[in-house]
Amino acid sequence: MKLKTYKIIALLPIALLFTNCSKSVEEYNKPAMYWYSKIVENVSHGDLEHADSYYSSLQGEHIGSPLLPEATMILAIAHMHEEEYLLSEHFLDEYIKRYATPNEKEEAEFLKIKAKYKALPNPRRDQVLIDAAITDGEAFKSNYPNSMYTEIVNTMLTRLYLAQFVLNEEITDLYERLDKPKSADYYRSVNPQPWILSQDINRATASWYRAWFEGDGTSSWYEFLIPDTKSVVSRNSVSEDDNVSGDNNETK
């Protein structure tokens, strides 16, 4: 009797494994409405990982389903709500490329700019993303001059230009401290916004635990630990060696 009991216990994990497999197998070849309802159910529970998985099933099994556009936009907005802006932008790109009508495309393009803008919560962070958000914002204004979203985009662009100006100004100060005048001049030259007055800008302030390590943009408490050696600070860094090399090439 004991031997029989041990055999049953030993076979239990295997039985459970096959049971789970059979449940997974059942999650194939379902109607489009089944996958759509699963997406909505998981979004309502905040489980976006499973919602994305069900979306893949809907897209894979029912590529022409009229439920796909709505499911795509639901996930784009849900990921934005959860501050997962890259995923939100991914679903918005999918929506624009495959499903959006001209009117719907305008709203989706606006949401893409909003996703980029909201992905920049901290000062002095992600120079490339700031530039990309500005480029998309200006393109939106050009493509949709009479859009109902124009004033919101203008507000976001104003703040993005201010962030870009301050960031370039602080990079200029950094290069001056590193005794790299050519690099400092470069970043000074890419700050030509005539309507921005540096002294009138209210700088963004970092929380105290970040400010400890980020400093105020001019210096940091750990500055004395940084060795005074040549280093690559930016791809736009210009050195005297680069200038000499350029002069030699011209003479050739």
Residue 224: pLDDT band (50, 70, 90) is low
Rounded CA separation 245/242 (Å): 5
Rounded CA separation 82/68 (Å): 21
The predicted pLDDT at position 34 comes to: 95
Mean residue pLDDT across the chain: 78
pLDDT above 90 for 85: yes
Rounded CA separation 195/204 (Å): 19
Residue range 176-200: mean pLDDT, rounded? 78
User: By the 8 A CB rule, do 51 and 44 touch?
Assistant: no
Residue range 167-184: mean pLDDT, rounded? 84
pLDDT above 80 for 214: no
Residue range 52-62: mean pLDDT, rounded? 95
pLDDT above 70 for 228: no
List CB contacts of 204: < 8 A, sequence separation 6 or more: 122, 123, 124, 163, 166
pLDDT above 90 for 8: no
The predicted pLDDT at position 177 comes to: 81
User: By the 8 A CB rule, do 182 and 233 touch?
Assistant: no
65 or 204: whose pLDDT is higher?
65
Q: What is the pTM of this model?
A: 0.68
pLDDT above 80 for 9: no
User: By the 8 A CB rule, do 41 and 10 touch?
Assistant: no
Q: What is the pLDDT of residues 116-164, one digit of tens each?
A: 999 887 656 678 888 999 999 999 999 999 999 999 999 999 989 988 8
Burial class (CB in 10 A: 0-12, 13-18, 19+), 179: exposed
pLDDT above 50 for 69: yes
List CB contacts of 40: < 8 A, sequence separation 6 or more: 74
DSSP letter at 90? H
Residue range 98-122: mean pLDDT, rounded? 90
**How large a percentage of the chain has pLDDT more than 70?**
65
- Which token pair is 150? 């124009």
Report the Cα–Cα distance between both ends of the chain, in Å, rounded: 96
